[in-house]
Amino acid sequence: MSASDRLFAQPLAEIAGFRFDQRVAAVFPDMIRRSVPGYETIVAMTATLAERYAQPGTRCYDLGCSLGASTLALRSGLGGRDCTIVAADNAPAMIDRCREMLAADRSSAPIELHCADIRSLAIDKASLVVLNFTLQFVPPAERGALIRRIRAGLVPGGVLVLSEKIAFADAALDQLMTDLSEDRPALAGRVGAKTFFTELHALTNQGYFADPIYGGNKGYAGWHMVGFPGAFGYFTDTVDAHNRPYRQPPMGIGHQPGTSDFNWER
């Protein structure tokens, strides 16, 4: 467990630029959890995405890995697949601590840890590249070039996972989100942040993973993402086909029998 982050609790006489130094490394898990609403969910989703998209014989990259939270999520999602994880950060204090965190992990997928600037790191044979809250630290004028290099380093079917904090164009909505994330009473003082975000999280999951007849999960995107074949009721065409992998695209409750071809792996 990391120390509590009190680095900016007191007024400072002089404001220096933010640095990922030893003081930050010592409190980083607490700092990022409090400054990024939903951080734990995003790290957990990184494991789910690795499970789905990491391809054997390729590399998975965690760019701006800090203490390795997303790196470890990637590793857990690989489930023994033959992939190498490349984790990079240009802050020596973060890399030192990351090395300790990775050493304490039991699973065996190989991890190459680099103290390096991601703007010049070679990206090659990548099936999954994770940029969790790192792009914001790359100067705006250099972001396009980095994204293009990542694109060039992806294998067919490879994906980039990009997570960032965003600002809303609507100032009132932006203020509401800020109030909620800072746990100020919001929504006319009646609903606090915890209640709001718990509900938002549940509704987002439902929107992503419920049957499309309820209005979300457009084109079965959520089901495709996790490999769920759907909950339709017509198995008569398939019930006798034993010992063959089921490769049917997702179909929901509203699916009309006979409107989709079966795709058996032969």
Instruction: Give the footprint of ligand SAM on this chain (CB under 6 A).
Output: 20, 32, 64-66, 69-70, 88-91, 94, 117-119, 132-134, 137-138
Is the Cβ of residue 5 or residue 89 nearer to ligand SAM in the bound state? 89
> Minimum distance from CB of 137 to ligand SAM (Å)?
3
> Minimum distance from CB of 119 to ligand SAM (Å)?
5
Instruction: Report the DSSP beta bridge partners of residue 85.
Output: 60, 111
- Alpha carbons 42 and 36: distance in angstroms, whole number: 10
> Minimum distance from CB of 45 to ligand SAM (Å)?
11
Is the Cβ of residue 83 or residue 91 nearer to ligand SAM in the bound state? 91
Q: Tell me the residue nearest to ligand SAM as measured from the CB.
A: 64
Q: CB-based burial of residue 121 (10 Å sphere; 0-12 exposed, 13-18 middle, 19+ buried)?
A: middle
C-alpha 161 chain-centroid distance? 6
Is the Cβ of residue 63 or residue 83 nearer to ligand SAM in the bound state? 63
> Minimum distance from CB of 97 to ligand SAM (Å)?
10
Is the Cβ of residue 44 or residue 221 nearer to ligand SAM in the bound state? 44
Q: Which residues of 170-194 are buried (b: 16+ CB within 10 A; e: fewer)?
A: eeeeeebbeebbeeeebeeeeeebe
How far apart, in Å, are the Cα atoms of 142 and each of 62, 74, 164, 201?
18, 26, 16, 33
> Minimum distance from CB of 62 to ligand SAM (Å)?
7
